[in-house]
């Protein structure tokens, strides 16, 4: 068991440097970049829909080397700063590492993970746009995309411990993050946040990762939107949005303009977001 | 401060009768401060001629600032003979490359490998040191201050602003004005445009008020659409930057290798005609190998 987050930090943060990305985006990057005249915006779209690639690009941009006055969460801004060819070659260097294995020791469903991350990203972006100036919709997208990054780190680098936590969660009907705390000593939200801080991502982004299972703290707009989007996405999968859905904690509801039901109504039809996420994750594709 | 052009060509050396006026060597500029401190910008093939010039001036102490690692900016380094001579002190400065995950030391190291060159770096007798610069970082170089400015190219490229005794020169290395990757009809077009405009203002501020701006003017306006994204500017974009930044003299450089002397002067004349010169505005010149200017 991890006794202190810094122990885990040491153990895995370097390994994450060499973590492969998702098969779908690696294939897309390789296909796209065979054409010397590929469209930069298509490249941006692939990177900002793959948690591993997005993390790697933002990690470079937020490194102390550049010392920008403001932290960077946008892939567009990354392209402006470094140029599209450098971003393309960064993406290719990640693609060259290989792809995340479809099956792993922890029994982790990486397609399901990607679908969930993309759905939360899409809902959070819609929510950000709906709520106005409180949080940039593209920041909401990135925060949603990365909120579960800790899970993929566990699956890849602590697969045995994480498999035990997954099993405990199932057997004990216990939320996964609580099972992780019991088995590993730290949950995926905390791990994702620790890494985000180590990579000098903005505090608001790290907090939105850290608190996406913690409804009681004083949320920022960004963390509240990610919390709510995560819950909406889970309920979308359960098909429970219309009826007995789990509500939002008061701190989150206050930031999001009301109850879960009211929020979902205000967001309009979410099926397009799910379909788009499925398309990118190539779930259901022939 | 004296500035001398040793290489003004882009991409590849093009010696021959049709380029004899402006020169065929690739990027290299010598700067001498009033105190005699030597600063070299880029190590393209032009640096070989500079090495000949330095033969009677040993020992050489030079700060060499590399804009980026593309061949036309480093290709002369293996034959920069002061590196072979004990007592010389050569300090290289340049960016960190996040793709190769290596610093400026690779601009020499990659060329001095068995398969490409007979002499190993360890066999070079001069004291050679490497310093990785961050964007915005200023370093003292003798009596001068040199500041690295991140510009827009197909790899990380630093422009350098050199200041000494109240005089200043800015060399872009390779730079393409920022362009929007979205279509005007795309939702994300306006925000991207705002980012670009912010960067353009920052670059004009970095160049602000220089006595001499030496800028990448590879293409003509007509050529540019087919070369968009290749990381180079146009004659017109250089004039525009010089005007916005209030530069006194503009030298257009990185001449397209397929453009001979006659064509270069023709295109330069056309570009100038498109810009009605302001009273007391920028004076535009074509950089010419061997030309020296004192400011």
Scored b (16 or more CB within 10 A) or e, A122-151 reads: bbbbbbbeebeebbbbbbbbbbbbbbbbbb
**Which of B68, B31, B65, B62 shows the shortest CA–CA distance to B127?**
B62
Q: What's the predicted TM-score (pTM) here? A: 0.94
What is the band of B279 on the pLDDT scale with cuts at 50, 70, 90? low
* pLDDT over 70 (residue B129): yes
Q: Which of A40, A80, A82 sits opposite B156 (nearest CB)?
A: A82
User: CB distance A41–B191 less than 8 Å?
Assistant: no
pLDDT band at B41 (very low <50, low <70, confident <90, very high): very high
User: Which among B98, B181, B191 is the nearest to A41, CB-wise?
Assistant: B181
pLDDT tens-digit profile of B174-225? 999 999 999 999 999 999 999 999 999 999 999 999 999 999 999 999 999 9
A13: in domain: no
Is the peptide bond preceding residue B59 cis, with omega within 30 degrees of 0? Answer: yes
Q: Looking at the predicted structure, is the pLDDT value of residue A95 above 90?
A: yes
What are the chain A neighbours of B152 within 8 Å (beta carbons)? 83
% residues pLDDT > 70 (chain B): 99
Q: Note whether A78 and A135 are same-domain residues.
A: no
Q: Hey, is the C-beta of A79 within 8 angstroms of any chain B C-beta?
A: yes
CA distance A87 to B156: 10
Nearest one of B210, B209, B207, B211 to B199, comparing CA atoms: B207
Q: Pick from A29, A63, A95: which residue ends a domain?
A: A95
Backbone angles phi, psi at A108, to 5 degrees: -85, 130
Residues B112 and B110: their CA atoms lie apart, in Å, by 6
Considering its fold, how many domains does chain A have in total? 2
Instruction: Mark whether A178 and A257 lie in a shared domain.
Output: yes
**Has residue A9 got a pLDDT over 80?**
no
Nearest CA in chain A to B179: A80
Topology given in CATH for the domain delimited by B2-294: Metallo-beta-lactamase; Chain A (3.60.15)
The verdict on A17 touching B (C-beta cutoff 8 Å) is: no
Are B244 and B275 in contact by the 8 Å Cβ rule? The answer is no
Report whether pLDDT(A244) > 70.
no
Tally the C-alpha atoms within 13 A of residue A176's C-alpha that lie toward its C-beta.
Answer: 15
Percentage of chain B with pLDDT > 90?
Answer: 97
Query: What ipTM was estimated for this complex?
Result: 0.94
- Does the residue A3 lie in any domain? no
Residues 6+ apart with CB under 8 A from A36: none
CA distance B224 to chain A (A): 14
- Contact residues, chain B to chain A, C-beta under 8 Å: 96, 98-99, 134-136, 150, 152-156, 178, 181-182, 186, 188, 191-192, 195-196, 199, 229, 231
Whether A81 sits inside 8 A of B150 (CB atoms) is yes
Q: How high is the pLDDT of residue A74? A: 95
pLDDT of residue B25: 98
Same domain, A65 and A188: no
Residue A277 lies in a domain: yes
Q: Quick one: closest CA in B to A91, which residue?
A: B99
A284 with A112: CB under 8 angstroms?
A: no
- Whether residue B192 and residue A90 make contact (CB cut-off 8 A), yes or no, is no
**What mean pLDDT do residues A91-103 have?**
89
Whether residue A26 lies inside any domain: the answer is yes
Residues of chain A with C-beta less than 8 angstroms from the C-beta of B134 = 65-67
Q: How far is A66 from chain B (nearest CA, A)?
A: 6
Chain CA centroid to CA A191, Å: 12
State whether B150 and A76 contact (CB < 8 Å). Answer: no
Verify whether the Cβ–Cβ distance A86 to B98 is below 8 Å.
yes
Residue among A41, A80, A85 minimizing CB distance to B155: A85
CB-CB neighbors (< 8 A) of B98 in chain A:
60, 82, 86, 90
Please report residues of B whose CB lies closer than 8 A to that of A44: 181
- A89 vs B contacts (CB less than 8 Å): 99
Tell me the C-alpha distance between A10 and A5, whole Å: 9
For residue B175, the chain A residues in CB contact (below 8 A) are none
User: Do residues A75 and A205 both lie within one domain?
Assistant: no
Give, rounded to a whole angstrom, the gap between the first and last alpha carbons of chain B.
6
The verdict on a CB contact (< 8 Å) between B99 and A66 is no
Burial class (CB in 10 A: 0-12, 13-18, 19+), A65: middle
Chain A residue closest in CA terms to B203 = A81
Residue of chain A with shortest Cα separation from B202: A81
What tens digit of pLDDT does each residue of B233-269 get?
A: 999 999 999 999 999 999 999 999 999 999 999 999 9
User: Tens of pLDDT along B78-101?
Assistant: 999 999 999 999 999 999 999 999
Q: Residue A102 domain-assigned? A: no
pLDDT average, residue stretch B26-31? 98
* Whether residue A184 sits in one domain with residue A227: yes
Exposed, middle or buried, B85 (CB in 10 Å: 0-12/13-18/19+)?
A: middle
- Best mutation target among A65, A90, A199 (most B Cβ atoms within 10 Å) is A65
Q: Is the pLDDT of residue A136 over 60?
A: yes
pLDDT band at A286 (very low <50, low <70, confident <90, very high): very low
- Cβ pairs A/B, distance under 8 A: 55
pLDDT in tens, B140-169: 999 999 999 999 999 999 999 999 999 999
Show which of A95, A119, A135 is a domain's final residue: A95
Query: In terms of domains, do A38 and A125 share one?
Result: no
Residue A61 domain flag: yes
CA distances from B51 to A159, B34, B59, B110 (A): 59, 20, 12, 21
Tell me what the pLDDT averaged over chain A comes to: 89
Report if residue A5 sits inside a domain. no
The answer to whether residues A132 and A253 belong to one domain is: yes
Q: Where are the domains of chain B?
A: 2-294
Same domain as A148, residue A88: no
Residue B128, pLDDT score: 98
Whether the pLDDT of residue B291 is over 90: the answer is: yes
Question: Is residue A53 very low, low, confident or very high in pLDDT (cuts 50, 70, 90)?
Answer: very high
Structural domain harbouring A72: 20-95
**Does A152 share its domain with A249?**
yes
Q: Inter-chain contact B153–A83, Cβ cutoff 8 Å?
A: yes
Whether A65 has its CB under 8 Å from any CB of chain B: the answer is yes
A128 and A91 in a common domain: no
CATH number at residue A127: 1.10.3210.10
Question: Residue A65: which of B134, B182, B186 has the nearest Cβ?
Answer: B134
**Which tokens is B159 given?**
């422009």
Token readout for B239 is: 């004039």
In this structure, the answer to whether residues A59 and A187 fall within a common structural domain is: no
Closest CA to A81 of B252, B126, B145, B196: B196
Residue A29 lies in a domain: yes
The closest CB to that of A77, out of B99, B156, B195, belongs to B195
Residues A144 and A240 occupy one common structural domain:
yes
pLDDT above 90: residue A11: no
For B139, the 3-state DSSP assignment is: strand
* A39, A41, A83 member nearest B154 (Cβ): A83
For residue A257, what pLDDT is reported?
A: 85
Q: Share the mean pLDDT of chain B.
A: 97
In this complex, do A41 and B136 lie within 8 Å of one another by their Cβ atoms? Answer: no
A55-64, A86-95, A254-263: segment of lowest average pLDDT: A254-263
Nearest-CA distance A52 → chain B (Å)? 16
A76, B192: Cβ pair inside 8 Å? yes
Higher pLDDT, A37 or B178: B178
Question: For residues A15 and A52, what is the distance between their CA atoms, to the nearest angstrom?
Answer: 13
Show the tokens assigned to A14.
């370097």
């Amino acid at each position: 068991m991890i006794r202190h987050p810094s122990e885990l930090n040491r153990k895995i943060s370097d390994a994450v440097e060499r973590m492969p990305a998702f098969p779908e985006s690696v294939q897309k990057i390789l296909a796209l970049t065979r054409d010397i005249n590929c469209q930069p915006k298509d490249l941006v779209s692939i990177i900002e829909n793959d948690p591993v690639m997005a993390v790697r690009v933002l990690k470079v941009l937020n490194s102390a080397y550049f010392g920008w006055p403001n932290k960077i969460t946008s892939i567009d801004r990354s392209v402006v700063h470094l140029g599209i060819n450098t971003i393309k070659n960064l993406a290719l260097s990640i693609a060259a590492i290989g792809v995340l294995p479809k099956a792993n020791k922890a029994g982790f469903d990486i397609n399901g993970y990607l679908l969930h991350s993309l759905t939360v990203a899409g809902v959070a972006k819609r929510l950000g746009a709906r709520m106005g100036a409180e949080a940039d919709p593209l920041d909401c997208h990135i925060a949603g995309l990365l909120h579960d990054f800790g899970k993929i780190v566990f699956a890849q680098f602590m697969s045995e411990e994480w498999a035990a936590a997954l099993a405990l969660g199932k057997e004990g009907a216990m939320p996964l993050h609580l099972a992780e705390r019991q088995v590993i000593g730290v949950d995926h939200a905390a791990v994702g946040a620790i890494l985000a801080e180590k990579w000098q991502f903005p505090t608001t982004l790290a907090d939105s990762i850290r608190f996406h299972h913690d409804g009681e703290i004083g949320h920022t707009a960004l963390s509240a939107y990610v919390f709510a989007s995560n819950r909406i996405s889970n309920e979308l999968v359960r098909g429970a949005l219309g009826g007995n859905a789990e509500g939002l904690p008061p701190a989150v509801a206050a930031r999001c303009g009301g109850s879960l039901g009211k929020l979902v109504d205000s967001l309009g039809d979410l099926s397009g977001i799910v379909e788009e996420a499925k398309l990118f994750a190539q779930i259901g594709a022939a | 401060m004296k500035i001398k052009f040793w290489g003004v060509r882009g991409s590849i050396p093009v010696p021959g009768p049709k380029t004899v006026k402006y020169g065929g060597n690739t990027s290299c500029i010598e700067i001498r401060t009033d105190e005699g401190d030597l600063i070299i910008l880029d190590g393209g093939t032009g640096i070989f001629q500079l090495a000949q010039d330095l033969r009677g001036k040993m020992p050489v102490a030079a700060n060499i600032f590399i804009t980026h690692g593309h061949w036309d900016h480093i290709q002369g380094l293996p034959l920069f003979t002061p590196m072979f001579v004990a007592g010389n002190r050569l300090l290289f400065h340049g960016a960190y490359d996040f793709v190769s995950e290596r610093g400026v030391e690779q601009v020499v190291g990659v060329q001095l490998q068995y398969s490409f060159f007979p002499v190993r770096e360890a066999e070079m007798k001069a004291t050679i040191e490497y310093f990785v610069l961050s964007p915005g970082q200023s370093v003292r170089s003798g009596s001068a201050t040199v500041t690295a400015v991140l510009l827009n190219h197909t790899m990380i490229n630093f422009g350098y602003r050199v200041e000494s005794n109240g005089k200043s020169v800015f060399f872009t290395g390779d730079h393409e004005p920022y362009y929007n990757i979205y279509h005007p009809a795309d939702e994300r077009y306006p925000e991207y445009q705002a980012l670009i405009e912010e960067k353009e203002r920052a670059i004009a501020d970095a160049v602000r008020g220089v006595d001499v701006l030496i800028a990448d003017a590879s293409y003509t306006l007509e050529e540019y659409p087919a070369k968009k994204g290749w990381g180079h500017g146009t004659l017109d974009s250089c004039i525009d930057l010089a005007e916005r930044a209030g530069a006194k003299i503009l030298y257009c450089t990185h001449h397209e290798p397929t453009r001979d002397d006659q064509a270069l002067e023709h295109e330069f004349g056309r570009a100038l005609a498109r810009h009605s010169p302001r009273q007391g505005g920028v004076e535009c010149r074509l950089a010419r190998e061997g030309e020296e200017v004192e400011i």
